[in-house]
Amino acid sequence: MKKTPSGYNASKKDEMVSTPILHTHLPDPLSIIQAFDGLIYISSPDFKLEFLNDRLIEHIGTNAIGDPCYKMLFGRGVACPWCVKKRVLKGETVRLEIKNPRDGRWYRMVHSPLNHLDGRVSNMAMIIDITDRMLAEQEVKIHRDQLEDLVRIRTQSLTRANLKLREEIEERINVEKILREREARLRIIFEGSRDAIFITSKKAKILDVNNAAEELTGYTKDQLKRMTALDLNKSLSMENYRNFFMKIMQGSFSTNEAGISRPDGQSVDTEFSCTRIMFDQESCLHTVARDITLRRKAEQALRNSEVKYRELVENANTSIIRFDTNGYITFFNEFAQQFFGYTEKEILGKHVLNTILPSVDSAGRNLEKNLEKLLKNPGDYPSLEIENICRNGERVWVTWTNRAVTDNTNQVTELLMVGIDNTSRKQAQERIKHLTQQLIRVQESERQKISRDLHDNVAQDLSSLKIGLETLLDDQPDIKSATRQKMDYLTSMLQRSISSVRDLSYDLRPPGLDQLGLVRTIFLYCEEFSQHSGFKIDFNAAGMSNLTIDFDTEINIYRMVQEALRNTQKHAGATEAAIWLVASSPNILLRIKDNGIGFNVNKRRLKSLKERRMGLQSMRERAGLLNGTMKIQSKPGRGTTISIEIPIKDWARDIEKEHSDY
């Protein structure tokens, strides 16, 4: 079956005109292409070869259909700089002559668009080897010069041959004109290059240079043409140059670096590439050189900076580590090795967890989940104070400063952490915390004793005195009315004293904590406080009924509620307050909210420190003693909300199913 050339769209009329005679006499389009005395290929818009004629297949030694044209035909890794694909795909026919870097031969190429039936457009290229023509043109120039000499010497003897040679001379003049124009264009390109260009002979003599070579070397063109390559590169010997020259003549392409000596004694670092070129019928080196002195200085500065950085990191008195986004350690400085007890070989490639970070800290917190959050969003944790673990099992406290390391696409690749040992400070804090807890226990114990003395002794004595006063005049009916009124006044005064003593006793030690429990005691306190203060208090509790809480936790929660309500009464100007006490694993949540005047939290904190106010500070310290946290949210005119979270380790049962509302 004969193939129709791609792009030819036969109409029905064509089919009707077609006859056996035409089919007999018209050649196959593929035969026409194969009969072409040159090279033909068709390539797709993405440079893939779609067709090669037999001559081209034989020329390159393989049927390269599907391979990139620039790779198979020109030996390049990327598209050719002379590629005219875009112009051809727009419908333009482009003619050009190029020197193929693959074989060093010259070719004339005609690129035309080839339209397919499905609407696609390919690039069809017809190639003719013009290397012989190029060499012939050079020979023509030589013969013309010889002929002109002969004409001048033998003008009379050649007069008769002048008419025969006129046409040949005119033709050669035209060729010479074309060559001069081409040479002028090449000279413009040659002189316009920003890189220095040198043409040197087999004996290393410099034959030609461009303007950029003057600027690079500091010599004039005339000076350079009287020099050799060895004069510019003092480290180069003639033997090395000849070996290098022969290597390039055999078709190699070389890119290297070398120093060029300037007349002022300075040396310029250059990067140069060499290829083979014909110059005045002589095989020469075509060298393109570029000044890389600034780049070399930048590279050296970078190396020096890296050395200083490494010295700084290795000699720092802090732990510096890096690990990837999966938690595997990639860097561990010397201080960290000594601090944690691992050698670099032992720790690199190991996971952070269970090497320097325990799964669970001493307080029972799950650090594995915290690590997952850090790896997922490192920007949310610029600094951390966490409990770490050494190789020998010792627990240490480290304050880490964290920074995400990103790549060129701004994707996080690693996490850099700088740690300072705070174990001593943490231990001191824990000691202070323990002593403070002991102090509060002693304080509560003393309060209990005072409360008991007030209730059992002072209150009882006052009650007995009140009864005695009330019955003192029972057997004396003749006592004056004024005396009885005074006795009644003294009795009522004693009653108020008894009430005050009992209130003070209950305030010092709420008796309900032991008998009624925390929730009921707070509820009764809120009711009593509401009656005395005159504003509404809404108290709600959930999940607390089956929770086992030690006395320290109970009394501190009670005191925080007590202190919050007193602050509300004294400073907030509120009419309503709401209290929530909720057990939600693994914390007890205490929230106190009022509709008072509010305040600026930061300004009030600074002011309270100067005035030594202990209300909110006392609550914060009590929360800290229970390993809890306290947050205050308030704005002027919008009331105040105090949120306290207290961790609880032991739970009786699923407390979240229990709920109580008072």
Beta-bridged to residue 209, according to DSSP, are 198
In this predicted structure, the answer to whether residue 453 has a pLDDT above a threshold of 70 is: no
Q: Using DSSP bridges, classify how beta strands 329-332 and 319-324 pair: parallel, antiparallel or unpaired.
A: antiparallel
pLDDT given at position 21: 40
495 or 382, greater pLDDT:
382
Q: What is the mean pLDDT of residues 464-491?
A: 74
∠ CA 619-624-629, rounded to 5°: 85
pLDDT given at position 435: 72
Q: Which domains does the chain have, with CATH numbers?
A: 12-129 (3.30.450.20), 133-190 (no CATH), 193-296 (3.30.450.20), 316-418 (3.30.450.20), 428-504 (no CATH), 513-661 (3.30.565.10)
In this predicted structure, the answer to whether residue 267 has a pLDDT above a threshold of 80 is: yes
Q: At 202, which helix (H) or strand (E)?
A: none
Instruction: Report the C-alpha gap between 270 and 561 in whole angstroms.
Output: 79
Count of C-beta atoms within a 10 Å radius of residue 255: 9
By percentage, how much of the chain surpasses pLDDT 70?
Answer: 82
Q: What is the mean pLDDT of residues 83-100?
A: 91
Lowest mean pLDDT among 216-230, 399-413, 463-477: 463-477
Backbone phi and psi for residue 393, each to the nearest 5 degrees, phi listed first: 95, -5
pLDDT given at position 158: 63
Predicted TM-score (pTM) above 0.75:
no
Residue 457's pLDDT band, with cuts at 50, 70 and 90, is: low
Q: What token pair was written down for 376?
A: 């997922």
356 or 148, greater pLDDT:
356
Backbone phi and psi for residue 254, each to the nearest 5 degrees, phi listed first: -125, 140
pLDDT given at position 87: 92
Q: At 371, which helix (H) or strand (E)?
A: helix 367-376
What are the strands, taking DSSP E only, across 317-408? 319-324, 329-332, 383-389, 395-406
pLDDT given at position 4: 39
The CA distances from residue 358 to 320, 344, 391, in Å, are 18, 20, 11
For the chain, the C-alpha Rg in angstroms (whole number) is 50
By percentage, how much of the chain surpasses pLDDT 90?
Answer: 14
pLDDT given at position 312: 63
Residue 67's pLDDT band, with cuts at 50, 70 and 90, is: very high
3-class DSSP state of 254: strand
The CA distances from residue 113 to 46, 51, 86, 126, in Å, are 14, 14, 10, 12
Residue 17's pLDDT band, with cuts at 50, 70 and 90, is: very low
Q: pLDDT tens across 609-651, in order?
A: 555 455 677 788 888 878 888 898 888 888 889 999 988 754 4
Residue 403's pLDDT band, with cuts at 50, 70 and 90, is: confident
- Average model confidence (pLDDT) for the chain? 80
Instruction: State the DSSP code for 656.
Output: G
Sheet containing strand 254-261, strands side by side: 206-209, 196-200, 282-291, 267-279, 254-261
Count of C-beta atoms within a 10 Å radius of residue 282: 11
In this predicted structure, the answer to whether residue 205 has a pLDDT above a threshold of 90 is: yes
Instruction: Report the C-alpha gap between 643 and 578 in whole angstroms.
Output: 12
Residue 219's pLDDT band, with cuts at 50, 70 and 90, is: very high
C-alpha closest to that of 264 among 297, 221, 216: 216
Instruction: Report the C-alpha gap between 98 and 85 in whole angstroms.
Output: 15
Residue pointed to by tokens 């108290």: 539
